Structure formats: structure tokens, C-alpha cells
Amino acid sequence: MSTQPVALVTGSSRGIGRGIALALGALGWRVVVNYAGNRQAADECVALVAAAGGQAIAVQGDVGEAGDRHRLVAESVAWGGRIDLLVNNAGVAPAVRADVLDAGEESFDRLIRINLKGPYFLTQAVAKVMIGQAPDVSGSRGQIITVSSISAYTASVNRGDYCVSKAGLGMLTKVFAARLADHGIRVYEIRPGVILTDMTGPVKAKYDALIADGLTPIKRWGDPADIGRAVAAIASGDLPFSTGEVINVDGGFHLHTL
Ligand code: NAP
């Protein structure tokens, strides 16, 4: 049986999650590629992880559904024997961007369910698995990374539901970091900036112009591989004295300049 570490990456069939899965594959990790409905994209990602030097399986599951979350954890452990890294990446944008004065409860409930409640309770479930695992030589039992967004602190008046769901992930990171440190489990938040994926495809022209106008000090779109590299650094154990930490991977968007 392989002794290579095991990662569960939610929403890794496409976009940022795929970039993360490929970066872990290049480190030789075993990766559980979770997806919601796009089996073909998940299978493609599994093959790409193998080509990069790792191993992978695809596991369908809606992170917003309790039953799916429990099955996802059980299938990950059945396949890998353990979970060394959870990456809460799966997330959705509102189907329609609506003014915060008009936006409805249905969209709010959907975004909170998938973007916030899902990662919160998946973290709880995976933390219990990690607590039961033997520590490595450094005392580490596992690591947890949550992909939030610059929307965790940037107000967009036409997608308040998305911003609120991402802001909640900041506190998720803090409470689990505080609770799990004694168990040798470190918890991080990665805040991507504007990254070119299917999610941002519909607003590409708008962001092309904003980036050219200086939206970010580093004047380019982010790539899923940029997030993959940050995850790989954490996965490699390069931040052993940090937990509850926010890592901005945003081309400098978060800077206030004068
Ligand atoms: P994307 O291209 O739309 O891909 C979304 C991924 O999540 C797909 O793999 C999709 O699976 C999966 N997914 C969707 N709903 C799910 C659910 N309920 N349960 C499990 N998996 C689900 O999105 P992305 O741009 O890569 O975004 C990934 C994360 O980064 C999200 O949390 C997003 O909020 C965050 N983010 C994105 C940006 C950006 O600029 N793109 C910036 C900041 C933060 P299927 O393929 O099966 O549909």
C-alpha cells in the first residue's frame, strides 16, 4: 500500500481546484478529486494528476449536503487510508448578480449552504479523522486549507450573499485553527484574487479592463496554478509555526496604496 500522503480537494474537477490537485500530483500525493456533477472534467483531472506524478480518484458529492459529505470522507479514507490535507475549495457564485436591496433568500441560502455550511461541517468531519491519525515525526496530524476570496473583505453590492459566505470562512479558519492546534493540525485560509476560470469567464472583458487600469499591482489575471503553488508550499510543511493564517494570492489586490 502506498505511503504517499492523501489530500481531499473539494471542487477539483475544474478551475482552481484542478490547479490545486495538479500541484499536489506533482509532489507525488494521492488526491481525491471531488466534483458536483461534471464527471468528465473530474476524470480528466484524475488523468492529469497521474500524468503529473501522483494518483487520484474522482468522488462525486455536493459539499452542501450532509449525507454527501459523510460519504466523501468515508470514500477518501477507504481509498487512501488517511487524510493528510483537506482543501475546502468548492464554491459557487450567485446565478444572477442582484443588488443587495433586491437579492432574494433563495440565492442567499444556496450560497451559504455550499460556500460556508459545507466547508464548516466538512472541516469538522475531517478534523475528527485527523485527530485519530498517528502524528508524523514533526507532530503533525494533518492540515486544512480553505479557499475563500478577496470577497471576504471587499464589498460588492451586487453579490452580497457571496461576500457574506466568504467572510464567514475567515472565522471558520480561526475557530478550527484555535481548536485543533493541540492536536497537531494546522489550518489556513487562502484568499485568491481574480483568477481565470469558468466562474470568471462571464465577466472576463470587465476584469480585462480593470486589470489593465491597475486593479492589482501585479497586472495580470491569476491562474489556478498560482493557487496550486501556495497549497503545495503549505502541503510540503513549509509553514510549521503558522496557523489561522491568511495567505493572499491576489497580485497585491489587498494592498492599500496612496
Ligand atoms: P469553477 O471554475 O466554477 O469550478 C467550481 C468547482 O467546484 C468545480 O469543480 C465544480 O464541480 C465544484 N462544485 C461546485 N459546486 C459544488 C458543490 N456543491 N459540491 C462540490 N463541488 C462543487 O470555480 P473556481 O473559479 O475554480 O472557484 C473555486 C473556488 O475559488 C470557489 O470557492 C470560489 O469562490 C473561489 N474563488 C474563485 C475566484 C476566481 O476568480 N475564480 C476568486 C476567489 C475565490 P463540477 O465540475 O462538477 O461542476
List, for residues 129-185, the tens digit of each pLDDT value: 999 999 998 999 999 999 999 999 999 999 999 999 999 999 999 999 999 999 999
User: What one-character DSSP code corresponds to residue 80?
Assistant: H
Instruction: Please report, as a single letter, which amino acid is at residue 170.
Output: G
Closest atom of ligand 1 to 151 CA is 43
So what's the pLDDT on residue 2? Answer: 85
How does DSSP assign 164-214, residue by residue? HHHHHHHHHHHHHHHHHGGGTEEEEEEEE-SB-STTTGGGHHHHHHHHHTT
Spans in the chain with pLDDT lower than 70: 1
Pocket lined around ligand 1, Cβ cut-off 6 Å: 10-17, 34-38, 41, 62-64, 89-92, 114, 147, 149, 192, 194-195, 197-200
Residue identifier of the C-alpha nearest atom 12 of ligand 1: 11
- The pLDDT value recorded for residue 1 is 66
Looking at ligand 1, which residue's alpha carbon is closest to its atom 39? 195
Q: What is the pLDDT of residue 258?
A: 86
Report CA dihedral (48, 52, 56, 59) to the nearest 10 degrees.
-40
- CA dist 105 and 180 (Å) reads 33
- CATH second-level architecture of 6-249? 3-Layer(aba) Sandwich (3.40)
Q: How far is the CA of 43 from the centre of ligand 1 (A)?
A: 16
Atom from ligand 1 closest to the CA of residue 90:
7
Taking phi over 0 as left and psi of -120 to 50 as alpha, with beta for the rest, 11 belongs to: left
Which one-letter DSSP state was computed for residue 222? B
* Residue 162 a catalytic site member: yes
Distance between Cα 61 and ligand 1 center (Å): 13
Q: Find the 199 Cα to ligand 1 centroid distance in Å.
A: 7
Report the candidate in 194, 151, 164 with the shortest Cα–Cα distance to residue 103.
164
If phi over 0 gives left and psi between -120 and 50 gives alpha, with beta otherwise, what is residue 7? beta
Q: Which amino acid is at 8?
A: L
CA–centroid distance, residue 67 to ligand 1 (Å): 20
Q: Which of 35, 120, 162, 188 is catalytic?
A: 162
Closest ligand 1 atom number to CA of residue 150:
43
* Ligand 1 atom nearest 15 alpha carbon: 26
Percent of the chain as helix, strand, coil, to the nearest 5: 45, 15, 40
Calculate how far, in angstroms, residue 36's C-alpha sits from the geometric centre of ligand 1. 10
How many Å apart are CA 142 and CA 139, to the nearest integer?
A: 9
Question: What are the grid coordinates assigned to 202, written together?
Answer: 462571464
pLDDT of residue 15: 98
4: nearest Cα among 66, 85, 63? 85
